[in-house]
Amino acid sequence: MKLIPLSGKWGRGLFTIIDDRDYRSVIPYKWHGEKKKLSKTIYVSTKIKRNIVTYLHRFITNAKTGEEIDHVDMNGLNNCRSNLRIVNKSQNMRNTSIRSDNTSGYKGVFKIKYGKHNRLEKWCACIHINGKPKRLGNFWNKKDAALAYNKGAKKYYGEFARLNNILS
């Protein structure tokens, strides 16, 4: 494996990791750290052709237009082939972390209010299948809802499931 230094606002002091076999094709270009709007992940990019941004993960996998590349470990700086897989949009969305506006601390878990004057609260577990939400149940505590989400993610998402880390 080789480390390639990055430049740019999001790349200063950072490196991307690639396989030895990709080094010769990658090294002629100047690679930058790039952070997309609302994303926590830093990706690696360059301009191979004038004004056309190319991402390192697409360069390495030779991805075609319309194909998405998933970083298995969700680290945009890990561009080893074993960490990259060609996926469709639905599969790529399954392997994501919790959203920045999440209030429960768990993926797929949110609070619902019910009863007269919405004074009662429960935690709902929900998963998206083919772009449509599927409720997995309502629970008195968010940990049980997170466990239900994990069970549903394993069932419906398989190898692409990003599970909640549930502490005792």
Kindly report the CATH number assigned to the domain that includes residue 126: 3.30.730.10
Tell me the Ramachandran region of residue 147: left when phi exceeds 0, alpha when psi lies from -120 to 50, beta otherwise: alpha
Q: What is the pTM of this model?
A: 0.77
Name the domain count of the chain. Answer: 2
Q: Could you tell me if 90 and 145 are in contact, meaning their C-beta atoms sit under 8 angstroms apart?
A: no
Residue 21, number of CB atoms within 10 A of its CB:
10
Per-residue model confidence as pLDDT tens digits over 100-129: 788 898 999 999 988 777 778 999 999 999
Task: Say if 166 falls within a structural domain.
Answer: no
Tell me the residue range of the domain where 106 lies: 96-160
Asked if 29 and 83 sit in the same domain, the reply is yes
Asked if 71 and 8 sit in the same domain, the reply is yes
Per-residue model confidence as pLDDT tens digits over 13-67: 999 999 999 999 999 999 999 987 767 789 999 998 888 899 999 999 999 988 9
Asked if 82 and 11 sit in the same domain, the reply is yes
How far is residue 10's CA from residue 74's CA, in Å, rounded to a whole number?
17
Asked if 77 and 102 sit in the same domain, the reply is no
Q: What is the pLDDT of residue 119?
A: 79
